[in-house]
Amino acid sequence: MRSFVVNSEIAELFFVDTTPFVDKYFVRPKDHKYDWSGVLPRQHYLSNLLKDVDLALRNSAAKWKIVIGHHGIRSAGHHGDTKELVKQLLPILEANEVDLYINGHDHCLQHISSITSRIQFLTSGGGSKAWKGDFSANSHKGMRFYYDGQGFISVQLTPNDAIVAFYNIYGKVMHTLNLSKGLYSAV
């Protein structure tokens, strides 16, 4: 399955196949080879995927709604915002009050708070190819944290609180995001 939902009672994790959204993979694939089995015709696939995500989010009774995709929606890293996701997926996430969108793709750690909704955009792509030095600090008013090195994040959930910690490769906490239903703060 390219997209699926995991229910853990207090949270639902919505895994979304973001690769078929990206136009350049179809228009200019360069040396890359993609398996588009089950994706073509592309517009039909994307239309159904967006309807499925919207319906699953609308029907969710989970305390925390977390969407996970490979590509960032908002990013100050090497790849920047994924314009196709901003246009097509983001409105659905905002309408359904998603709490977190977690992605990789950019080889960094970052936390961007939406300025138009409750969504916190979290990138945990610091496993390799880090330290590129191509950070755009002015690209997002909601930028809370950016680290161009290697590391990882952890997410701890209770029915009322979420703690997201950003670690470097030595296990040092570099940034913490504390969320409570109805009250948000970033340290």
**In angstroms, rounded to a whole number, what is the distance separating the alpha carbons of residues 65 and 48?**
20
**Sequence letter at residue 3:** S
* 61: Cβ contacts below 8 Å, ≥ 6 apart: none
DSSP state letter for 97: T
Alpha helices in 12-156 (DSSP H): 24-27, 42-59, 83-88, 90-95
Residues comprising the chain, all counted: 187
**Considering 79, 105, 111, 175, which one is annotated as catalytic?**
79
Known catalytic residue at 79: yes
Neighbour order of strands in the sheet with 109-113: 4-7, 11-16, 64-69, 100-103, 120-124, 109-113, 143-147
**In angstroms, rounded to a whole number, what is the distance separating the alpha carbons of residues 98 and 84?**
18
Closest CA to 81 of 141, 169, 155: 141
| Catalytic center residues | 79
